[in-house]
Structure 1
Amino acid sequence: MSGRIPVTAIVALGITQNIGYGTLYYSFSILAPDMAAHFAWSTEWIFGALSVALLIGGLTAPWLGGLFDRIGAGRVMTIGSAVAAAALLACAYAPGRTSYVAALIAIEVAANLVQYGAAFAFLVQLRPEVASRSIAYLTLIAGFASTMFWPITAVLQAQMSWQNVYVIFAALNLFICLPIHAWLSHGAAVQRKTAKIASPRVEGILPSERRRLGFLLMVAGFSLMSLSSSAVLVHMVPLLSGLGLGTTAALVGTLFGPSQVASRLINMIFGKNLAALHLALFAALLIPGGMLILLLLAPSVPGAMIFAMIFGMGNGLLSIVTGTLPLHLFGSDGYGKRQGQMMAARLILSAIAPFVLALAMAQIGIPASLAICATLSCLAIVMFGLILVMQRTGRTAVSAG
């Protein structure tokens, strides 16, 4: 029984992940111009405030990750849904810029309590022996957040103020996500109490003496991929336009989302026996590979379409391996703390990356900036390759012993 995929929990988490990412992240770019007009700020300042909020949210992530282990990820997500609802309401009713930025910071902290890092930790704590497959299924369901919430937000924005949109989104977190998280948390607690044997554990493949270095290499690899990914994603349409794609840039950009979902579906069907480290290497190849194709083939529209698909597939796999690789390398013990530490590094770099790329494009041009992004992302291949060498030398040492 314990080896079965917790389908009900995955579907329930899929609902809350779509709402969490849709209301706390994807809606912002749609509502930002109205927010800027309301506070008499430029749109650049509004996105600057988001970067500050992401940065501070990243700094809190290690502490939040420790909470997953101490009190259970389900309980943290339940609290997080209440915090998210309160933060959205505070943002909607903020009387001035300072209170608005403070509420924005609260939103990003709440996001760390309810999004992938917390959901992955919950699945590991629920059934660690099948957590890798559970995470893959969850990312497939949650891949539709942008597809759903970009148009939903746009429709709501056309009918009402951004403040009222945030009030509706607060209600979704309070009346849908919170009860689901509370139910999941209660079910997990009951399962632990009624279990007649100790909860199964997953052992990591890296020997204990190599885990510190392995963890640093893994975090560096994920951080470099996230830096390049977030920078290019934020600027995708202007970047494609600047490379000569013109009015087709926005159309090409729409291929990204379906490609993310497609890569997760392909992995779910055909990648069941593929080790998480090999999947991480594959993702690390796809992200810079897509950028290099764009550099070589632009302004070719077919070339840009290939870029969007390969880049999207790499990002889709990245979401999976950030959950499965720590489990594969280090095991289920302390998983929540490791997720928090990884989230911190990735969020901090993701916060500054769009600003740095915008500055680079203005100073040295789009092709050179894109080449730097691709080079940085290629370094992730080296990081994961070194972990693979460590794994193999560890096996050799055990065999020799």
Structure 2
Amino acid sequence: MSLTHLPSLHRPASHGAGVRHKAQSMLHWGLSQGLPNVVVKMAARKGDLQGLLTQAGSGDEIWEVIDQVRAQGPLVKGRVTFITADHAVVSEVLTSKAFRTGNPLDRLGFLATASIRLRPDTMHPLVEPSLLVTEPPDHTRYRKLVTRVFTMRAVEKLRDRAETVARELLDELEGRVDLVEQYCSLLPVTLISQILGIPTSERRNVLAMGSDIAASLDFGLSWPEYRDVDAGLRRFDAWQEAHIETLRKNPGDDLLSQLVHVQDEDGTLDMAELKATAGLVLAAGFETTVNLLGNGIKLLHDNPEELSKLQQDPALWPNAVEEVLRIDPPVLLTARFAPEPTTLEGQYISAGLQVVVLLAGANRDPHVFEDPTRFDVTRANARDHLSFSAGRHHCLGAALARMEGEVGLKSFFDRYPDVTLLPGAQRRPTRILRGWRTLPAQV
């Protein structure tokens, strides 16, 4: 019997579809999030580092777990996965053909098969054809279509626009404000909306949907969290289809209009490919930058001597952005799995096993960065961080994020050098993405 047609799901037509969706969602949550989370919690109680890592979330307690990982060696075998905070090992995993993206559970056992069958039919950043989990040749094809908008030359053409948007947003700040809501989020979403042909009237809606689905990258969601993410993904999915159809009928000179009509050697992108690609471009274009700007404002506010260096020598701003990315990265970790048996750091890794790579840990590796916990805008090798990953899955929006970070932070502190951050700042509750949900200030 098909797992998607269980007898208990049959109801009268008036509400059967809704009941079926809820039951199917609960089953999928239980198999993909609930049951694994129970296993992880049990492992955490026994001191397993993967369990402790998941329980730590994205708050400052993450640094203690990373230190524990580092103390146990360059590659640590946990009860479920391998983990590394070593810069060299992280780099090797991210660039090696012996490891790939994707969910290794998709390859294993009845529960994995059931979970796949029960997946919601909406687009998800961790389900193909998302660029995050596809590999060549599909990955090469999708990436080629969108790379041109994120080249250094293309990004520099947007600098004047970024400076104008920053200036306009700063003009509206007065008194007590939330810098995340009123500045850090609006600057990048305005620029990426221009790239994707999103009308000004839709931008706050898109920003809200982005916030709703940010936790879709996380592992071990509670049922309420999973339900909220699922609802957010469905809203975003419906919005994307409508937006793509609008551009199909009335194309502009934006990237998404070009993608809708592009023809390459493999033909036109289908709707699923368009939604997956556009969704990731949207996320790559603003999700990391919101966190970068918030983290940067907090770091420079709390380290006035570093801000003073930038005021005395504005040429340091690009390096300051790299140092913000290094010491407080917008993305804490990612993972790869071995499709075939392999070895790493002398340890045997069987097919299907995952290696969790702590980007934040690699960024504070004392073998690479002297005094790694010190925030130093003059650090000579700050750009050696791995905050944008590496290899074929290096972040598409890296150049754009760097430019927006430089423009956004410099513009802010040029205008408000004496800003006061107020009590009440809150970190985002996400486990993979690290940033501020609220950053109250007096300007």
| TM-score normalised by L of structure 2 | 0.29
Bigger strand share: 2
Bigger helix share: 1
Larger gyration radius, structure 1 or structure 2: 2
